[in-house]
Structure 1
Amino acid sequence: MADDFLLDTDDIKRRMDGAIAALKTEFASLRTGRASASMLEPVMVDAYGQKTPINQVGTVNVPEPRMVTINVWDKGLVGKVEKAIRESGLGINPQLNGTIIMLPIPELNEERRKELTKVASQYSEHARVAVRNIRRDGMDQIKKAKADGLSEDDQKFWEAEVQELTDLYIKNVDDALETKQAEIMQV
């Protein structure tokens, strides 16, 4: 029975790709001194009794390199959107103009750049932990198969396979972090 054991490496790859995709989404929310609509993606607004992404309560535009505007569709939500942005930790001070909220993106000073690189490091550590947890799940499947009669050679083969995937994805996380930190520190 255990001789026909086949570890689903495609599932492991898919889950590790998910960890990398989540990391890139988190990185997109870190501002680098240039305006980007994606920097508002993690900000949730308390709208209609539940947490709602900003892009579902208004139109997000980037009219110039250092300005993001949000045209809020419901006048009653303007204050809640403004509050969500202030409390988001993005370090942006919203300015109201009717139902339009303008977000001028200030130049990043050296201290803020260093803080953002630390945040990027934290995001990448979360991604590494996610990849390692997926590795652990794969190793647990192999151990279970070993208990069901998987040969030691097959066990070593599958463990090496899972470790190789893990190393590759950890390197991808490290490369993404290095790129993001260089982008943040660029003046």
Structure 2
Amino acid sequence: MSDGVDFSDMQRRMDGAVSAFQSDLASLRTGRASSNLLDPIVVQAYGSTTPINQVATVSVPEPRMLSVSVWDKTLVGAVDRAIRESNLGFNPIVDGTNLRIPLPELNEQRRKELSKIAHDYAEKARIAVRNIRRDGMDQAKKAEKDGVISEDDQRKQSDRVQKVTDETIKVIDEKLKTKEAEIMQV
């Protein structure tokens, strides 16, 4: 819309806030295994430090198990040592050139902490959406003040801005509820 609120830009910005929220939630560790849990680990290999994903393949065969297939059998000990010394609390089980890593259960206190963090992420996303709503309302008021649109059109645009905002916040709340259920699942 050339006069009043640019709804496509507003929707794009709100979608951006939701996707940033989703990526924040994805970084929270739930009780499930994820192949990128081992990404920060580096291995002493070939005389230098090498990321684990450059000497082995990390996969998730079961929800609470990681499997690491080391490509060079001379590096199995180095990979095992790097995982144990990583302070992630993992104890790999060596099986030839494969390492199986059972994930420990999350305790109740840690689950509550993760749930609080998820709520903080959701509140930041809601604040971002409300700021975008404020910008949209200001655009509608300015267009009416400048005489570009009528008072009735300004009211219609403001109602539409509020409707889009409510829908976006509902999406954020649903994603939070899903993640919270995932975190609290025993």
Query: Do the aligned residues in 2 keep the contact of 1:29 with 1:38 (CA within 8 Å)?
Result: no
Equivalents in 1 of 2:146, 2:54: separation in Å? 50
What's 2:5 paired with? 7
Q: CA deviation at 1:136?
A: 1.3
Equivalents in 2 of 1:154, 1:146: separation in Å? 8
Normalised by the length of structure 2, the TM-score is 0.68
Query: Do the aligned residues in 1 keep the contact of 2:4 with 2:140 (CA within 8 Å)?
Result: no
Pairing 1:3-152 to 2, within 5 Å after superposition = 5-37=3-35, 60-68=58-66, 92-93=88-89, 105-149=103-147, 150-152=149-151
Query: Do the aligned residues in 2 keep the contact of 1:95 with 1:101 (CA within 8 Å)?
Result: no
The residue type paired with residue 146 of structure 2 is D
Query: Do the aligned residues in 1 keep the contact of 2:4 with 2:154 (CA within 8 Å)?
Result: no
Shift of the 93–172 alpha-carbon distance from structure 1 to 2, 3 Å rule, reads same
Equivalents in 1 of 2:69, 2:135: separation in Å? 45
Tell me the SS of whatever aligns to 2:20. Answer: helix
Aligned: 1:156 with 2:152: no
User: Which structure's CA Rg is the greater one?
Assistant: 2
Shift of the 144–95 alpha-carbon distance from structure 1 to 2, 3 Å rule, reads farther
Shift of the 40–157 alpha-carbon distance from structure 1 to 2, 3 Å rule, reads farther
- Backbone CA RMSD of aligned residues: 3.6
Identity %: 56
Q: CA deviation at 1:62?
A: 2.9
Shift of the 33–147 alpha-carbon distance from structure 1 to 2, 3 Å rule, reads same
Structure 2 gap segments, 5+ residues each: 43-51, 71-78
Structure 1 gap segments, 5+ residues each: 46-53, 73-77, 87-91
The residue type paired with residue 177 of structure 2 is E
Q: CA deviation at 1:14?
A: 1.6
Deviations 1:33-54 (A, max 9, x none): 111135678x7x9xxxxxxxx9
- Across the two proteins, how many residue pairs are aligned to each other? 163
Q: CA deviation at 1:68?
A: 4.3
Normalised by the length of structure 1, the TM-score is 0.68
Equivalents in 2 of 1:148, 1:129: separation in Å? 28
